[in-house]
Amino acid sequence: MDKVAFRLNVNGMDHDVLAEPRKLLSDAIREDIGLTGTHVGCEHGVCGACTVLIDGKPQRACLVFAIQAQGQAITTIENVTGEDGGYSPLQQALHEEHGLQCGFCTPGIVVTMEAYLKENPDPSERDIRDVLSGNLCRCTGYQSIVKAVQKAARRMRGEDTEVA
């Protein structure tokens, strides 16, 4: 099947891509654009490792064809930073709470939770676990991730601002 030329906007920059229509957005981001922070785990929408933002909404990049994302704003883990260019509050909290071990699932979790905390700045533990159910982590047992999200949410609301 012939390759098709199209343009993707990733993290505010336009990229010209030449790829077959069957190329998944997750593969285009990694192979054609060279941003390898978006991880590819199950490739059928279960594990959440490839989650990116499309027009601000967290979506599975392995369940979207790259060609479908023309004209939309794609945001990947590489674009998640704090105001000073360092860690975002969520990344800092994951660091402090040991919310990652091997780190494979982490980009998907960070991208998902950054979007979720904008939608719901004061989530209950149940809310956090509900959203986190879409991201499989085989290392942590989730306790430390939940604690980190709670801590990040408190800090983003202006509470508990002391950074370890």
Partner 1 sequence: MKPAPFTYHDAQSLEEALALLAEHGDEAKLIAGGQSLVAMMNLRLAQPGHLIDINGIAGLDGIERDGESLLIGALACHADIAGSDLVREACPILADAAGHIGQYAIRQRGTIGGSLSHADPAAEWPLMAILMDAKIEIAQPSGDRRTVEGADFIQSIYTTDLGPDEVLTRVRFPCVERDEGWAFKSFARRRGDYFIVAVGATLALDGAGRVSRLRLALGGMEVTAIRLVEIEQEAIGNTPDGDWIEHIAAAARGAGEPADDQHADAEYRRELACVLVTDALAEALNRSGRG
Binding-site ranges for partner 1 (CB under 8 A):
1, 4, 20-22, 24, 27, 43-45, 48, 51, 54, 57-60, 62-65, 67-68, 112, 116, 129-131, 133-134
CB of 14 to partner 1, least distance (A): 19
Q: Which is nearer to partner 1, 4 or 102 (CB)?
A: 4
CB of 161 to partner 1, least distance (A): 27
CB of 35 to partner 1, least distance (A): 18
Determine which helix (DSSP H) or strand (DSSP E) holds 16, and give its type and residue range.
Answer: strand 13-19
Q: Which is nearer to partner 1, 3 or 159 (CB)?
A: 3
Q: Which is nearer to partner 1, 117 or 148 (CB)?
A: 117
Q: How far apart are CA 160 and CA 131, in angstroms?
A: 23
Which residues, including other chains, have CB under 8 Å from residue 147's CB and lie 6 or more apart? 93, 97, 99
CB of 64 to partner 1, least distance (A): 7
Q: Which is nearer to partner 1, 35 or 52 (CB)?
A: 52
Q: How far are the Cα atoms of 20, 69, 70, 72 from residue 6, in angstroms, in the given order? A: 10, 10, 7, 12
Which residues, including other chains, have CB under 8 Å from residue 106's CB and lie 6 or more apart? 94, 99, 100
